[in-house]
Amino acid sequence: MSPHPFRGRIWARLGLSTLAVTLLATQLQCSGGNEDSVENAPPSANSSEAAKAIARENVLPGSSAWRMGNHAMNGQLAAYADRESYAAGSDVRIFVSANPPGQFSWKIFRMGGYRGMGGRLYGEGGPIPASRQADPTFEPTTGLVATDWTPTLTLTTRHADGTSWLTGVYLALLTKADGWQTYAIFIVRDDSRDAEVAVHLPTATWHAYNDFGGESLYVSSHGLPGGHARKVSLDRPITLGFGSGKFLYEEAEAVRWLEDRGYDVEYHSSVDIGGSAGRIGNHKLYMTIGHDEYATMATLDRLEQALTAGTSLAFLTGNTLVWQVRYEQNDRVMVGYKELAAEDPMRLINPRLTSALFRDPIVNRPENQITGVMSDGSHNEQPTDWIVTNPDHWVYANTGLTNGSHIPNLVFYEWDSLVANGVTPSGLIVLASSVVPNNIRPGSRHEATIYERGRAFVFAAGTIYFNQHMNSQPVVGQMVSNLLDRAGTTAYQP
């Protein structure tokens, strides 16, 4: 993608109050076919019934219309929501820019299992006019790129009967009159109760890689010294996944698997976990999926507190909790100096909050202190196998795996391994171990581990692609089922 596709300074001028009324009126005017039904899951009055909400939701007719066919890759259409997540029942503001200006229609999908459809249509509307919005601002010292756009549409996370939308991952699919399409993604939380399973979508990693406007924590099209920005804004469209972040290709499979089986889950963003108002709650299991590379000090604090309180932790990923970041400006700017940490002014204020590696001496909180394993910075271009050790462990129950069994293609791109740094948790058990062929650090190993703390456990898959095989490889799904069972969760029936 070019550094920034928007040239010109034309503001959207549609009155929000009028638009909001129009959208609320059209929100549930969906097509009447079985695939796009918007029948509501029955409301629940008590905690036992509330736990079945995900199971009931996913037997409702789904829709595959969330799939995009004409990706707007060069600024023809771009959008983002004003928050990563929203409390159920609140309003969502979406900012849209069109080049050239034109009309667009929208559909909102809740993502899940839905009998193989992957999503369910929650509402649709339009056509609505969209202007070509202003170029983003660029701050040359930190590389911060941010937009100052006018909201284009507002919609509510309430059904027509007044009940709130279910916690979940939602995709807004926007389609311009000339056919170009883009996504805006957001999470709906249920702050009224603690589900049995808290699922963390690592949105901090999405934003670290997002190069809208030519800057990210990896690249700088403006030629910043060090080759990347030090700060990134959440107030801009996400170039990854055409606006969906890493969700569709790193996290959606795990969400489908969990919801198909009726687990009582709720969803959180990285800001929810590690931002200024973060919470994990009293869950039986905390599960992180996707690529959980970036975290705040508060995130690690809350994970440690949850573990002490008896919440089990499952890191179904690799390259986990590597870089410390922090949030500013009401959690809408993420700071990550990374290997340029000597420039971070936080070094002189509170050195432990310096945005460096968690394992760096100035921070001194190695990630394996909680996960059990650590990334060595290697990566590969071809997937390799997970090789089983300790097959009698309960994680492998009902899998039929034996010592040395291979699970194909499970170790890919980035992985974790044991490290002798003096903080490895006691009682750590290695569940998989193998040498991973790569050209960066020959001899680098992948290891998956587990250890127990009181009635809780901590599992680390040690590979980014673990959760992507939960549907395609039954033994992987069985391992996750074993983790959920051990944590005391239930796969509910509708």
| Whether the model pTM is above 0.75 | yes
Residue 17 confidence (pLDDT) above 90: no
Structure tokens at 2: 């070019």
Which CA distances in Å does 118 have to 67, 88, 279? 9, 21, 28
Quick one: how far is CA 362 from the chain centroid? 28
Please tell me the distance from the alpha carbon of residue 238 to that of residue 234, in angstroms, as a whole number: 9
Written in H, E and C, the secondary structure of 2-29 is CCCCCCCCCCCCCCHHHHHHHHHHHCCC
Residue 304 confidence (pLDDT) above 60: yes
Give the residue from 184, 156, 191, 158 showing the smallest Cα distance to 267: 191
Q: Sketch the domain layout of the chain as residue ranges.
A: 16-274, 285-322+367-486
- Average confidence (pLDDT) over 261-272: 96
On the question of a cis peptide bond just before residue 100, with omega within 30 degrees of 0, the verdict is: yes
**Residue 254 and residue 316 in contact, taking contact as beta carbons nearer than 8 Å:** yes
**Residue 66 and residue 36 in contact, taking contact as beta carbons nearer than 8 Å:** no
Alpha helix segments (H runs only) across 261-383: 270-274, 297-308, 368-371
**Residue 465 and residue 415 in contact, taking contact as beta carbons nearer than 8 Å:** no
Structure tokens at 153: 């549409």
- Average confidence (pLDDT) over 151-165: 93
pLDDT in tens, 90-125: 999 999 999 999 999 999 999 999 999 999 999 999
pLDDT in tens, 433-444: 999 988 888 889
Q: Which region among 5-19, 67-81, 396-410 has the lowest average model confidence (pLDDT)? A: 5-19
Domain 16-274 class?
A: mainly beta
**Residue 169 and residue 255 in contact, taking contact as beta carbons nearer than 8 Å:** yes
Written in H, E and C, the secondary structure of 101-149 is CEEEEEEEEEECCCCCCCEEEEEEEEEEEECCCCCCEEECCCCEEECCC
Confidence band, pLDDT 50/70/90 cuts, at residue 49: confident
Which residues, in sequence order, are CB contacts of 209 under 8 Å at separation 6+? 216, 217, 218, 240, 246
Question: Which strand (E) or helix (H) includes residue 154?
Answer: strand 153-156
Pairing of β 144-146 and β 231-233: unpaired
Confidence band, pLDDT 50/70/90 cuts, at residue 41: very low
Q: Which CATH number fits domain 285-322+367-486: 3.40.50.300, 3.30.830.10, 2.40.340.10, 3.40.50.880?
A: 3.40.50.880
Half-sphere exposure of 348 (CA within 13 A, CB side): 4
Phi, psi angles (nearest 5°) of residue 122: -105, -20
Structure tokens at 344: 């971070």
pLDDT in tens, 481-491: 999 999 999 99
pLDDT in tens, 232-250: 999 999 999 999 999 999 9
What is the structure's pLDDT at 24? 36
Residue 277 confidence (pLDDT) above 90: no
Please tell me the distance from the alpha carbon of residue 294 to that of residue 208, in angstroms, as a whole number: 8
What is the structure's pLDDT at 47? 63
What is the structure's pLDDT at 378? 82
- Average confidence (pLDDT) over 169-179: 97
What 3-state DSSP class applies to 388? strand
Residue 7 confidence (pLDDT) above 50: no
Strands (E), 246-329: 265-268, 285-288, 294-295, 312-315, 323-324, 326-328
What is the structure's pLDDT at 382? 86
Average confidence score pLDDT of the chain: 89
Q: Greatest CA separation found in the chain?
A: 65
Please tell me the distance from the alpha carbon of residue 204 to that of residue 263, in angstroms, as a whole number: 25
